[in-house]
Structure 1
Amino acid sequence: MEIRQLQYFVMVAEELHFGRAAERLHIVQSTVSQQVRRLERDLGVNLFDRTSRTVALSAAGRRLLPRARAVLAAGDALAAEARTLAAPLGDTLLLGTGSGLGSRLDVFLDAVAGHGPDLKVRFRSLEREQRVEQVRTGELDGAFLRGVTTVPGLRLLRLWEDRLVAALPAAHRLAELPAVPLGRLGDLPLRIVPRERNPMLYDLIVGACAEAGFRPILGQPFTTRNDTLVELATGEGAWTVLYAANAATVVTRRIVLREFAGPGLGVPVRLAVRPDARPERLGPLVAACRTACVQLAGAPA
Structure 2
Amino acid sequence: MELRQLAYFVAVAEEGGFGRAAERLSIVQSAVSQQIRRLERELGVPLFDRSTRYVRLSGAGERLLPEARAVLAATDRTRQVAADIRAGTDGVLRLGIVQGPGDRIYRTLNELAAVAPRLQVRPRRLSLSARLSAIRSGELDAALVRALTDAPGLELLPIWTDPLYVALPVGHPLTRSADLRLEDLADLPLRLAPREDNPPFHDLVTDACRAAGIAPPPGPPFTTFQETLSDIGVAAPSWTVFYEVAGLPEIPRVAVRTLAEATLTTSLAVLPGPPAPAVRHLLATLARVT
TM-score w.r.t. length of structure 2: 0.60
SS in 2 for 1:248: coil
Q: Deviations over 1:249-284 (max 9, x none)?
A: 5122422211124xx201221111245799453232
Q: Is 2:191 the partner of 1:194? A: no
Is this contact kept in 1: 2:146–2:201, CA < 8 A? Answer: no
Query: Which residue in the other structure is 2:278 paired with?
Result: 281
1:184 is displaced (CA, Å) by 1.9
Shift in Å at residue 167 of structure 1? 1.1
Q: How much has 1:220 moved relative to structure 2?
A: 2.4
Query: What is the CA–CA distance in structure 2 between the aligned matches of 1:174 and 1:288, rounded to whole Å?
Result: 39
Quote the residue 1:221 is aligned against.
221
**Which residue of 1 is the match for residue 151 of structure 2?**
151
Aligned length: 205
Q: Residue 234 and residue 291 in structure 1: after superposition, are their counterparts in 2 closer, same or farther (change >3 A)?
A: same
Q: Could you tell me which residue of structure 1 aligns to residue 245 of structure 2?
A: 246
Other-structure match for 2:255: 256
The answer to whether the 8 Å contact 2:182/2:214 transfers is no
Q: 1:192 Cα deviation (Å)?
A: 0.7
Work out whether residues 158 and 290 of structure 1, in 8 Å CA contact, stay in contact via their aligned partners in 2: no
Partner SS for 2:139: coil
Aligned residue number for residue 9 of structure 1: none
Q: Alignment partner of 1:220: what SS?
A: coil
Matched, 1:95 2:92: no
Give deviations 1:36-74, integer Å, cap 9, x for gaps. xxxxxxxxxxxxxxxxxxxxxxxxxxxxxxxxxxxxxxx
Long gaps (5+) in structure 2? 1-80
Q: Does the C-alpha gap of structure 1 residues 278 and 145 become closer, same or farther in structure 2, counting only changes over 3 Å?
A: closer
Q: Indicate which of 266, 270, 273 corresponds to 1:269.
A: 266
On the 8 A contact 1:158/1:289 being kept in 2, the answer is no
Aligned to 1:164: 164
Contact 2:168 2:256 in 1 (8 A): yes
What amino acid does structure 2 have at the position aligned with 1:271? Answer: L
Post-superposition offset of 1:189: 0.8
What is the rounded CA distance, in whole Å, between the counterparts of 1:165 and 1:121 in structure 2? 32
C-alpha distance in 2, partners of 1:219/1:246?
Answer: 23
Structure 2 CA distance for partners of 1:181 and 1:147, relative to 1, 3 Å? closer
Question: 5+ unaligned residues in a row in structure 1: which ranges?
Answer: 1-84, 297-301
User: Take 1:153 and 1:107, find their aligned partners in 2: how far apart are those partners?
Assistant: 30
Structure 2 residue 117 is matched with structure 1 residue 123: no
RMSD (Å) for aligned C-alpha atoms: 3.0
Are residue 141 (structure 1) and residue 141 (structure 2) matched?
A: yes
Distance 1:159-1:278 versus aligned 2 partners, 3 A rule: closer
CA drift at 1:183: 1.5
Output the amino acid matched with 1:145: V
Q: Is the contact made by 1:191 and 1:221 (CA closer than 8 Å) also made in structure 2?
A: yes
Task: Go from structure 1 to structure 2 and tell me whether the alpha carbon gap of 1:172 and 1:253 turns closer, same or farther (over 3 Å shift).
Answer: same
Taking a change above 3 Å as real, the CA distance of residues 256 and 122 of structure 1, as seen in their structure-2 partners, is: farther
Q: Per the alignment, in what secondary structure is the counterpart of residue 282 of structure 2? A: helix
In 1, the alpha carbon distance for the partners of 2:93 and 2:226 equals: 30
Structure 1 residues 150 and 289, CA gap change in structure 2 (3 angstroms): farther
CA–CA separation in structure 2 for the residues paired with 1:213 and 1:153: 33
Q: Is the CA contact (8 Å cut-off) linking 2:191 and 2:238 kept in structure 1?
A: yes
